[in-house]
Amino acid sequence: MKPRTLRKLNVGLDWEPGSAEDVYYSSGKPRPVAGRAGIVVGPRGVYVEGAVVTQLITVAHEIGDLAESGAPAMRAAAERLDAAIQPLYARYVTQLLEANRRQGGALGPLVAVLGPFLDRVVDQRDDEEEALYRRWLAGLHVDLDKSMMQRFETRVAEADA
């Protein structure tokens, strides 16, 4: 295995430098980075409004029907499906970041994967403050006034685990 790959494993798995090498070459045990709890893989559940679920089901059926017929409207249906599930993704990402922040989890690997959701306003229910909240949760540098910082700290403390 290449040294570069082993270094990526150390970072991605939140291991001390050299851990992946020890595991790979000598069947050693990985050494997690001290003071971190690891990565929370997801919230137990995510609340979704019934209207969002209905929209998902409707569009998913459309896509299934179109896929069988090979109709040119497939792309438009796929775009509607993407728009329908964006609020679900946004809530999931927010809850995942909240859980990791509360538990002192390693955010680096999550930020790399979830990056597109940290800057983007997803829909009309999601606003600039929500995108800013996700960036703050991820540990990215954001300029916050004292009031907003307090709101964010209170919100993450009160978020469902």
Q: How many CB atoms lie within 10 A of CB 65?
A: 13
Angle between the N-to-C axes of helices 19-26 and 3-12, in degrees from 0 to 180, rounded to the nearest 10:
120
| pLDDT the model gives residue 113 | 67
Q: Tokens in use for 4?
A: 């570069």
Which pTM does this prediction carry? 0.56
pLDDT of residue 149: 92
Residue ranges, the chain, pLDDT below 70: 36-39, 41, 106-126, 160-161
Q: What is the C-alpha to C-alpha distance for residues 25 and 115, in angstroms, rounded to an integer?
A: 33
Task: Report the alpha-carbon distance of residue 45 to residue 147 in Å, rounded.
Answer: 29
Max Cα-Cα span within the chain: 56
Q: What secondary structure does DSSP assign to 56-111, as a single string?
A: HHHHHHHHHHHHHHT-TTHHHHHHHHHHHHHHHHHHHHHHHHHHHHHTT---HHHH
